[in-house]
Structures are given as C-alpha cells and as structure tokens.
Amino acid sequence: MPGNARHTTMLLPTGQQLDVFDQERVPQWRCQSNDQDLLTVQLDDTAARVLQSTDDPAQLCRAAWAFFVSRPTVTALEFSGDGHPGFMVQRDNDSAVLERDMLWQLTGDWLPKAAAFPYPVSMVMDDSGRRHPRRPAKPSGEVYRRFDTGIQAWVSLRVLDIEEDLERFMRWQNSQRVAAFWEQSGTLEEHRAYLESQARDPRVLNLIGCIDDDPFAYFEAYWAKEDRIAPYYDAQDFDRGIHMLVGEEHHRGPHKVKAWLNALCHYLFLDDCRTTRIVSEPRADNDRMIQHLQARRFAKPKEFDFPHKRAALMVLQRDAFFERCELS
C-alpha cells in the first residue's frame, strides 16, 4: 500500500500482531500479519467491498475484527465469488456478506477455553423446586481476554481463586463505597465462608476483572432461572445475571465502565450461544449504575421489591448488544 497510508498495530490475545493500513484518499483498507495480506477492502459511500482475503477462516475473522474496530460505522463486508465460510450470509448471486454483529458472536480468540459444542440440555430440579437445565462444570483460570482500543489496555476475566483473592475481596467489600450497596462487610473468615459457599453453588460463577492484568473488580455471573430473581420476571433457561463491584479506585470512571461492562456481557453471550438475555437487579436508588447499564443498552422494564431491597430490573437483549457492537 502507498506510503501515505495510516499505519496502526492491533494486538490479539494469541500474541499475534496485525498491521492495518488505512488510505483515506483512495479509499482502501488493508490488514497484514507477518507481511502477509489477510484482507483488503475498497470503501465507498454505500459499501465495503472485499478485494482480497485469506483462505484461512480464523485469520479472516481476525482481520475482519480489525476492520470493524477501525471502521466502527461500517456494519458489513461484501465478498464476491463462492466458497465462503459458513458464518457468512450467502446471497443468491454467489456473493456473501460478513455482518459485524454475527462476527462478534464467534468465540474466536476471546475465549481461550471455549467449548466446542453447547452443553447438552438435561433438565433437573433444584432444592427449591425450580426446574432448569443442568449446568456445566465451572471453568478455572482465565476465561476471556480482549485488547480494548478505547482505553488502550487488555481487559480480561478470570475465575476467582479463594487463596489468591480472599484478602483483596475482603478489602473491597469493607470499603465504605462498596459496603453501601453490597452490605457484605465482614472478617476474613466470614468472606472465606461466603466464597466457599459460592464455589460449591453451580448457579454462580465468581470472576475477577483485570485491566492490563491488574485485578480491579469482582463479578458474580449467575444462571437466572434458578436464582432468587426468577419469580420476578419471565426467566428463560439460559438467561444470565450479573452482580458487579469495582474495588480499585484508580480503575473507576465511565470510560472504564464501558470497557469492562462490554467485556463482561460479551463473555456471557459467548459462553453459551443460547443465552439471549443478561439481567441485573441493582438497588433502585443506585442511579449511577442504572445509567451505566442503560448506556450499554440495558432496558429498565420495572422496579420490584426483593425482601432486602427495592430493585430495578435491568435487561439486556442479545440482539441489542451485538447490533450496537461497541466492542472497540
């Protein structure tokens, strides 16, 4: 590509580096890896037409990711000819379209331990009499990693390790700001007992959020069908719910909320392709959290009364999340 093209380097969790050349005068966009062309796109006012692409589907997905990140207003890539991967939308004239919202639903490199197939459905009854799918064994270690160009940092999620994270968890829960909403301040042994109980519960997955591998947040991702929230809305078999806290002050701020909340929701939608909704139930007076959720396209259909709090029901639909696709 001519020397006046703007050059950007983009990083992948695998360690691979993508070189992007964006020439606005033509306009043309190209992605390379190790000096090998992966994707070349011609842009005009109505379309993004692929001039050249790699035959490797995994490398094509990586290059397409780089394209959609660098061109966030474009929603599809148009391919001519035949023989396109199955994740594209095939047209009658032997052409195909790779849609942005479909690309982001492929696990790709973001989930290092992605299951090859969805966990089979086997219905069980829990102790409370709720009928729900049997849940898969919980993962361990890191479950999600993506470089967020908005904050220019790696955002990752790993499963909480009690021995490694207990003191950190206690410090966060005992901070005045967190305790005001979580109401779980306590001793080291009280928090150990809580986390051990959570680890035994197949309903919930305890996660630590990291930015550039610096732990900063605690998340609980739960299956809503067997959770206490289920009686308050029409819970479906694969709905997930989230509880969230940011423990480190230096990682607070709207720009970082956007990065980690997008990552958390992205992970849960990728973790099981049958998950069509993510729910949350912050305290109804937690205006800041509700606003952050609404900015990520969570709807607020109602408020309701838990035994311990007045809560806002927040619901994120899968199609709303991927249609907007603010995964920079």
Residues noted as catalytic: 281
Instruction: Respond yes or no on whether the N-terminal peptide bond of residue 120 is cis (omega within 30° of 0).
Output: no
273 φ, ψ to 5°?
Answer: -65, -10
CA-based end-to-end distance of the chain: 24
Question: Which alpha helices (H) appear in the chain, and where do they start and end?
Answer: 57-70, 100-103, 162-173, 176-182, 188-200, 254-271, 287-295, 318-324
- Residue 283 bridge partners (DSSP): 311
Cα distance between residue 65 and residue 222, in whole Å: 29
The 240-246 sheet, strands edge to edge: 142-148, 153-159, 204-211, 214-223, 240-246, 277-280, 310-317, 299-305
Q: Locate tokens 């849940």: which residue?
A: 135
Nearest 5°: the CA angle 106, 219, 270 is: 10
CA distances from 106 to 88, 101, 248, 298 (A): 11, 10, 31, 22
Provide the 3-class DSSP secondary structure of residue 321.
helix
Long-range contacts of 175-181 (CB under 8 A, 24+ apart): 175/247, 178/245, 178/247, 181/245, 181/282, 181/283, 181/286, 181/289
